Amino acid sequence: MTRAGADLALLLLAGFRTFADRGAEALARRGFDDVRPTHDFALRAIAAGADNPSELARRLTVTRQAAAKTIAVLEERRYIDRRPDPSDGRRLRLTITARGDELMRAGDAVFAELRAGWEAQVGSVRIGEAEEALRALVGDGVISVDSPDWSTRDLDS
């Protein structure tokens, strides 16, 4: 079983994808068919206080430019607003629109459901343990899908 390690990695990826895909589908059914994880991560980071492009870039560990592009999309799709910061002429102030809030709430609901479904399948204890093990593995590291081609880094699957 020499591939056990690689299979495990793949399984984690598949698990994420399962969540992501099903979540996307459920959100699309609720009318949010124009968001991707990138956008959502950014939205939540903004909600969490990264209310200007530079700060957002730092939180997502991408360049300011990448953040700016994401922000442009988010604004265009009416999830956030963007306006000058009255107290600092250089800065833009990002705020979440009502639609943005709705998206986040819908996301919460959708993923809670997915988790509940999985718990029903294999037991909540087991999932709690898996979660614990994962936390031990990943440590405190920040998570970000945005990071440059993280999905294409070397992984001997």
Instruction: Please report whether residue 79 would count as binding a second copy according to CB under 8 A.
Output: no
Judge whether 23 and 103 are in contact, CB under 8 Å.
no
Closer to a second copy by CB, 15 or 84: give it. 15
- Interaction partner, residue 88 (DNA, a second copy, none; CB < 5-8 Å by kind): DNA
Cβ neighbours of residue 24 under 8 Å, at least 6 residues apart?
36
Q: Least distance to DNA from the beta carbon of 133, Å?
A: 28
- In single-letter form, the type of residue at position 93 comes to R
Closer to DNA by CB, 21 or 131: give it. 21
Q: Least distance to DNA from the beta carbon of 3, Å?
A: 21
- Interaction partner, residue 69 (DNA, a second copy, none; CB < 5-8 Å by kind): DNA
Q: For residues 82 and 80, what is the distance between their CA atoms, to the nearest angstrom?
A: 7
Site for a second copy in 40-59 (CB under 8 A): 40-41, 44
DSSP secondary structure letters along 27-71: HHHTT--S--HHHHHHHHHHHTT--SHHHHHHHHTS-HHHHHHHH
Site for a second copy in 114-143 (CB under 8 A): 114-116, 118, 121-122, 126-127, 129-138, 141, 143
